[in-house]
């Protein structure tokens, strides 16, 4: 049931204030001072003492894992590697008993991710799952896990499952950081509080859907697009590009913003839309100069900015504002306008958004 929406994807985009809330509800104390993740209590000693965390996943789940890498290293201070499950399993990876492997999968059935954890388990690693479908194959192979509780996702292009995966990883990063003594009381409480504000901030972003649709209209005939971000917003750039290519069939690439000058800058001309995720954080000044580099070559800049940002408004062709937040929360807010743009571009191009060509919801073949 599409609940009055034209497509499942649009319904699922709009469900995110609720689905993210469902992901953290019952896991954050009422007074917002503690995080409990019941499903991984038994492996918490392993996790807090891990020498290394290896995240394995495919596609959008791999992008969520890459957001997790930034947050885990920042707050938990544990080295993280994010691996494409298919590459990891076939290269005789070095795994030992002090490693914790986290498998991220919406369906819990992705063949390569399942095979990767089976192999890591044989080599003695502790395996944790972050999955959406309860009772699916991956959770059955793991030692412990956290379900995302996003609710059933029908649109082939993953939206609410991604934000729920990021929500779980964010909670884990904060909780492990706290347990390892890296986060003082005040900061820990502030971070938890910031996470609980995400649903209401997303409601505000979703209210600007018509404005975002207007931007989509201007770029619907593009043949290429670039997406740029830095830090934990770099994987959001990758995810924005994937959403556009998979449902609208426009070629799109995501890059760390500073990598642009090492090649992709050659592609920029007045026909190239460049989506820049440029909210206020510690790399803000750097991303502002990346925007200048694009404008100097006549590229069209669509920037996702913190509300009230006048500097970028004066440089970019369009800005989409998101409410101010702590930088650790920005991936959850900034990905949503990119989902909305992709959705509307695909609809305007007459594409089958819920069932894009050549794609399946669950990839059970390798």
Tell me: does residue 106 bind ligand F6R (CB under 6 A).
yes
**3-state class (DSSP) for residue 157:** coil
| CA 284 – CA 134 distance, rounded (Å) | 40
The neighbouring-strand residues paired with 274 are 226, 301
Q: 136-175: which residues touch ligand F6R (CB under 6 A)? A: 157-158
User: What SS3 string covers 329-352?
Assistant: HHHHHHHHHHHHHHHHHHHHCCCC
Collapsing DSSP to helix, strand or coil, 106 comes out as coil
Length of the chain: 366
Tokens 């992901």 — which residue? 23
Q: How far is the CB of 311 from ligand F6R (least distance, A)?
A: 33
Nearest to 15 by CA among 148, 135, 175: 148
Smallest distance, ligand F6R to C-beta of residue 214, A: 24
Q: Site residues for ligand F6R, window 185-204 (CB under 6 A)?
A: none
Query: How far apart (Å, rounded) are the C-alpha atoms in residues 238 and 59?
Result: 10
**Nearer to ligand F6R (CB atom), residue 149 or residue 178:** 149
Minimum CB distance to ligand F6R, residue 282 (Å): 29
Residues 231-270, one symbol each (x = binds ligand F6R by CB under 6 A, - = not), give -----------x---x------------------------
Pick the binder of ligand F6R from 19, 60, 163, 334 (CB under 6 A). 60
- Single out the segment in contact with ligand F6R by CB under 6 A; choices: 29-37, 101-109, 140-148, 288-296: 101-109
To the nearest whole angstrom, how small is the minimum distance from the Cβ of residue 58 to ligand F6R? Answer: 4
Contact region with ligand F6R (CB under 6 A), list: 106-114, 210-218, 230-238, 299-307:
106-114
Residue from 16, 19, 23, 107 touching ligand F6R (CB under 6 A): that is 107
Q: What angle do CA 308, 9, 26 make, to 5 degrees?
A: 75
For 91, left (φ over 0), alpha (ψ -120 to 50), or beta? alpha
In the structure encoding, which two tokens stand for residue 191, read together? 């971070």
User: Could you give the C-alpha distances from 166 to 21, 160, 218, 264, in angstroms and in order?
Assistant: 12, 10, 30, 28
CA within 13 Å, CB half, 2: 9
- List the structure tokens of 237: 């750039």
Q: To the nearest whole angstrom, how small is the minimum distance from the Cβ of residue 14 to ligand F6R?
A: 17
Q: How crowded is residue 160: how many other Cβ atoms within 10 Å of its Cβ? A: 30
Among 16, 110, 283, 339, binds ligand F6R (CB under 6 A): 110
Query: Per CB under 6 A, which region of 52-60, 195-203, 255-263, 311-319 contacts ligand F6R?
Result: 52-60
Contact call for residue 65 and ligand F6R (CB under 6 A): no
Which segment (107-115, 171-179, 182-190, 294-302) binds ligand F6R by CB under 6 A? 107-115
Q: Residue 189 catalytic?
A: no
Residue 83, C-beta contacts closer than 8 angstroms, at least 6 positions apart = 54, 55, 56, 57, 93, 116
Of 32, 34, 118, 361, which is the active-site residue?
Answer: 361
Point out which span in 59-67, 249-257, 262-270, 275-283 binds ligand F6R (CB under 6 A). 59-67
- 105 or 283: whose CB is closer to ligand F6R? 105
Nearer to ligand F6R, 142 or 306 (CB): 142
Q: Which residues are catalytic?
A: 361
Binding site for ligand F6R (CB under 6 A): 58-61, 105-107, 110, 113, 157-158, 242, 246, 362-363
């Amino acid at each position: 049931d599409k609940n009055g929406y034209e497509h499942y994807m649009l319904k699922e985009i709009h469900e995110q204030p609720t689905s993210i809330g469902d992901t953290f509800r019952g896991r954050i104390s009422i007074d917002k001072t503690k995080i409990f993740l019941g499903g991984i209590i038994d492996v918490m000693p392993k996790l807090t003492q891990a020498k290394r965390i290896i995240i394995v996943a495919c596609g959008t789940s791999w992008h969520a894992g890459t957001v997790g890498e930034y947050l885990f290293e920042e707050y938990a201070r544990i080295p993280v590697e994010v691996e494409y499950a298919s590459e990891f399993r076939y290269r005789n990876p070095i795994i030992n008993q002090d490693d914790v492997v986290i498998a991220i999968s919406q369906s819990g059935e992705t063949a390569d991710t399942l095979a990767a954890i089976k192999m890591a388990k044989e080599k003695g690693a502790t395996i944790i799952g972050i999955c959406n479908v309860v009772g699916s194959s991956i959770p059955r192979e793991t030692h412990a896990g956290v379900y995302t509780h996003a609710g059933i996702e029908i649109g082939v292009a993953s939206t609410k499952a991604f934000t729920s995966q990021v929500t779980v990883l964010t909670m884990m990063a904060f909780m492990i950081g706290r347990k390892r003594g890296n986060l003082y009381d005040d900061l820990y409480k502030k971070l938890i509080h910031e996470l609980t504000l995400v649903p209401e901030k997303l409601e505000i972003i979703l209210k600007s859907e018509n404005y975002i649709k207007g931007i989509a209209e201007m770029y619907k005939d593009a043949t290429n697009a670039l997406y740029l971000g830095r830090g934990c917003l770099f994987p959001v750039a990758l995810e924005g590009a994937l959403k556009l290519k998979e449902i609208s069939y426009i070629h799109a690439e995501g890059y760390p913003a500073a990598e642009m000058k090492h090649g992709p800058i050659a592609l920029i001309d007045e026909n190239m839309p460049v989506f820049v995720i440029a909210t206020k954080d510690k790399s803000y000044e750097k991303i502002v100069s990346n925007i200048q580099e694009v404008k100097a070559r006549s590229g069209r800049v669509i920037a996702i900015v913190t509300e009230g940002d006048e500097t970028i408004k004066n440089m970019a062709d369009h800005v989409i504002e998101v409410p101010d937040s702590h930088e650790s929360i920005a991936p959850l807010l900034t990905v949503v306008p990119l989902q909305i743009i992709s959705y509307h571009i695909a609809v305007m191009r007459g594409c089958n958004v819920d069932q894009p060509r050549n794609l399946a919801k669950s990839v059970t073949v390798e």
